[in-house]
Amino acid sequence: MNRNGAHSDSVSRRFICLTVMYRYFIPKANHGPQHAGNMYVYITCVFWLTEEARLQAEKEEQERQERERKEQELEKLELKDLERRKDELNELRHLLEENHTAVTNWKADAAEKAKWERYMRCDGTPDPAVQQEINTYISLWRDDPQVNITHVLEQCKVALQLTDELEDLHRDGTDLIEGQKYQEAFIDLQELIHSKHNLATEEILKEASANIDIETGNMQTVVKDENVTLCLWANIKKNPRFKGFTFEEVSLGFELPKQLAVKDIAIRILHTHYDHLSSLARMAHLKIQTPSHRSDEEEKSVQESEGGKVRLFSWIHTLLLLLVLIFVSEGELTSPAVLSTDHRERVVDLMQYTPLGGVFFYDVFHLPPQAHKVNGWVIRQILDTGLQIFPYPNEQSQIPGSVSSKLDDSDVLSCSSVRVSVMLPDSVVFVETPKVACWDGQWRMEGITDISYREEESRISFKMDSFQTFVLVQDIYANFPFLSWELRPLGQDSALFTVKGALIDLSITIQSNQCMLQSDQAKGLSHLTGKWMSGPALQRAMLNTGINIFVNEFTEKYVKTYSKDPLTEHSAYEQMALFASACAFSWSKWNAKCGPQHLVMQVCEHLSPTPVPKDLWTLYLLGAERSQKLEIIESSDAFCPDHCPGSEFHSTFIHMLQDNMSTEGIVRTRESNYLFVDTVQSLLCSTRPLMYS
């Protein structure tokens, strides 16, 4: 209803009220004391209603004038903003382009320098970017007859460095054919590394009878370096009452099924502190799931330029991946079975879960023939079959009951589950109870029972249907959404980014282009906290440790968010990075109430390294067209988009902030180093705190 309608309605109500009072207080007899009294009451009421009407009219007039004043003020502010819009946008664009050009040139120079240093290393290792060199290295190492475990582990250390470089080249590369070559070299190396582990294992087991432990009557040994832990147990005594064994120095153990206690077997526990299997699974997932984003014209251009070469490499690469994904840990191929719907549903989604702490290979092998001394001669049976898997459960135990019941009872084994126990690696953090997944070409959460997790001891034990390869997995987004966040300056080109996650809090100190993790969580982070590294290196290290605050293209599928316009959000991060040396930024509860087209955060100028006092924060509203300072504060009862009286509108966030900044603060922002600005922006864009908090 408009103002005139509301006023007319008010007058009508008063007229009705006066009419009712007149009929009640003024009877037909117009004389006598009662009439005089009634007239007094009536006149009093008329006066009161008239005065109320006057006051109401004055109030409504004042409100109308105030609205008109605000509307005029808004029109003036919008007009003023429009007049300087072009200049502000041009200044912002110039700052961003200047920083981007400087960063691009620096990265190009750094890449050239790294390439030259790699070329000048001259340490005998191949350059993984050169296919001929890496192929020659693989061929020579494959033919190397040396199987001594110490020598093999040293060779594997070099090979693992090459696989890391190949993964980096594949991740950073843009050429399709080169990327496939890097993947093929990566697959060849990881297969060869595992093959060398098997050869070294076989060599140790051949000498098992010569290295019997006096107390147990069996052979057990542990060999480890920074990349792998190898535990071997050989059943020499064949004691039917043997239950199991724990390698105390590495806290890895197993319980032996009673059917195996009298068999010529050996148990191997190989814990690789890296995880190549998940890398292979991700490659296959991306190969199958990732759609092409090329336009028809681009696709046609690629086909015309590359022709059959691309199709040939793609076909070979896909075939190679499929073969490797069904390559079991012993190096044999298994026939892929037809999977039921339930079976497929148990496949671990590597976009939601991340394996942590490396891979655990639990294998049972036939014990190789042992040497015998006869009249001073050492006699050993020589087999060319290599390390042989002991089938458990064996094929006969897998026969359906209707068939196996016809067999002789002595021929049928009732196979028990295999119980294993693992100490959680001290280089990872499980913020929730870890899940167990076994490998059969993909990670699957099935075949695992009777899980026991003792958090205070960092130990997990469970039963498996057979000896298998497994990993411990955790929800990638367990620490999402963020409860709050803050970015505050510590000085020129220095800032502290703090995130209070759903389960764990942490801080990242930024100094130029270097980052350092800080956290009250001591366990599992000692190898990371207090160490400077680049932003991408810190991100990879945190993900491998199990502490994730970073987002990717799949995060929105698994984490509830408040949808925000991506262009407005990205622009906010760019401008926050420009002013991160002089301004503090923080989470606001009103960001969830302002709608998808706007952002709200707390901001204040802060030139000292101390924490920001609570009474200094001011709320700002950011949109695609303009930014403004809000009248409400964080503790207000309700959200209101009205701008703060006395403030102006600006087309950019940084010009809005400059209105309330000191000269010293503005100078500090203009002197910010481009590497610092780029590092802060990259950190904000990779965590997206305005959307995931």
Cα–Cα nearest to 285, from 93, 442, 101, 493: 442
Query: What six digits make up the tokens of 62?
Result: 């004042």
Task: Measure the CA–CA gap between 131 and 126, rounded to whole angstroms.
Answer: 9
pLDDT on residue 311:
42
The residue to which tokens 């980096």 are assigned: 168
Structure tokens at 20: 């009712």
Nearest CA-CA partner of 185 in 141, 127, 131: 131
What is the reported pLDDT for 276? 92
Lowest mean pLDDT among 222-231, 394-403, 590-599: 394-403
Q: CB–CB of 459/421 below 8 Å?
A: yes
User: What is the three-class DSSP state of 579?
Assistant: coil
Nearest to 256 by CA among 469, 265, 422, 394: 265
Contact call for residues 395 and 385 (beta carbons, < 8 A): no
Q: Which long-range contacts (CB under 8 A, 24 or more apart) does 240-245 make?
A: 244/419, 245/216, 245/218, 245/220
Give the model confidence (pLDDT) of 35-92 as tens digits: 556 666 656 666 666 777 777 877 787 777 777 777 777 788 788 888 999 999 999 9
A 10 A CB-CB count for 580 gives 29
21 pLDDT higher than 60 = no
Whether the model clears a pTM of 0.85, i.e. scores above it, the answer is no
Mean pLDDT, range 257-264, rounded to an integer = 91
Give the three-class secondary structure for 55: helix
Name the DSSP letter for residue 412: -
Give the closest residue to 606 by CA, choosing from 661, 655, 672, 667: 661
Pull the structure tokens for residue 214.
Answer: 């006096």
Distance CA 527, CA 636 (A): 43
| The Cα angle at residue 488 between residues 483 and 492, in degrees rounded to 5 | 160
Burial of 521 (0-12, 13-18, 19+ CB in 10 A): middle
Cβ-in-10-Å burial (0-12, 13-18, 19+) of 543 comes to middle
Residue type, position 358, single letter: G
Residue with token string 């600006």: 650
Per-residue pLDDT tens digits for 154-193: 999 999 999 999 988 888 877 888 888 998 999 999 999 9
Phi, psi of 245, deg, nearest 5: -150, 145
Q: CA 22, CA 14: separation in Å to the nearest integer?
A: 12
Residue 19 pLDDT: 60
Bridge partners of residue 253, in order along the sequence:
246, 421
User: Distance from first CA to last CA of the chain, Å, rounded?
Assistant: 40
Q: How far apart are CA 57 and CA 177, in angstroms?
A: 80
Q: Which residues of 311-338 are buried (b: 16+ CB within 10 A; e: fewer)?
A: eebeeebeebbeebbebebbeeeeeeee
For residue 553, pLDDT beyond 80: yes
Cα 53 to Cα 673: distance, rounded to the nearest angstrom:
65
For residue 393, whether the previous peptide bond is cis, meaning omega lies within 30 degrees of 0, is: yes
Which region among 20-34, 280-294, 502-516, 673-687 has the lowest average model confidence (pLDDT)? 20-34
Q: Is 188 helix (H, G, I), strand (E, B) or coil?
A: helix
Domain boundaries, the chain: 131-203, 207-276+350-475, 484-687
| Average pLDDT, integer, range 480-498 | 96
What digits encode the pLDDT tens for the residues 556-576?
999 988 889 999 999 999 999
Q: Which tokens belong to 402?
A: 């209707």
Structural element, H or E, at residue 304: helix 296-306
CA distance 442 to 465: 17
- Sheet containing 459-464, strands listed edge to edge, beginning at the edge strand earlier in sequence: 244-247, 252-255, 418-423, 459-464, 448-454
Report CA-CA distances (Å) from 328 to 160, 336, 353, 439, 689.
Answer: 20, 11, 22, 8, 41
d(CA 364, CA 388): 9
Per-residue model confidence (pLDDT) at position 379: 83
Give me the architecture of the 207-276+350-475 domain, per CATH: Sandwich (2.60)
For residue 495, the cross-strand partners are 489, 510
Mean pLDDT along residues 353-373? 92
Which pair of structure tokens corresponds to residue 660?
Answer: 């309330």
Q: Pairing state of beta strands 252-255 and 244-247?
A: antiparallel
Contacts of 133 (CB under 8 A, 6+ apart): 126, 127
121-160 per-position pLDDT tens digit: 888 889 998 999 999 999 999 999 999 999 999 999 999 9
Min mean pLDDT across 302-311, 333-342, 424-433, 515-524 is at: 333-342
Which segments within 128-264 are labelled E, that is strand?
219-224, 228-234, 244-247, 252-255
Q: Which ranges of 327-416 does DSSP label H, i.e. alpha helix?
A: 341-345, 401-404
Contact 447, 415 (CB under 8 A): no
Q: What is the pLDDT of residue 309?
A: 41
User: Residues of the chain with pLDDT > 70: what percent?
Assistant: 81
Write down the pLDDT at residue 408: 40
| Beta bridge pairs of residue 271 | 229, 360
Encoding tokens for residue 53? 């009407």
Residue position matching structure tokens 């499980």: 430
Residue 302's pLDDT band, with cuts at 50, 70 and 90, is very low
From residue 624, alpha-carbon distances to 191, 338, 639 in Å are 52, 52, 19
The amino acid present at 206, given as its one-letter code, is: K
Which residues, at least 6 apart from 483, have a Cβ–Cβ distance to it below 8 Å? Answer: 500, 501, 502, 693
Q: Do residues 569 and 551 make contact, with C-beta atoms less than 8 angstroms apart?
A: no
Residues in the chain, total: 693
Backbone torsions φ then ψ of 675, nearest 5 degrees: -70, -40
Residue 270 is encoded by which pair of tokens? Answer: 């190989």
User: Could you write out the three-class secondary structure of 128-149?
Assistant: CCCHHHHHHHHHHHHHCCCCCH
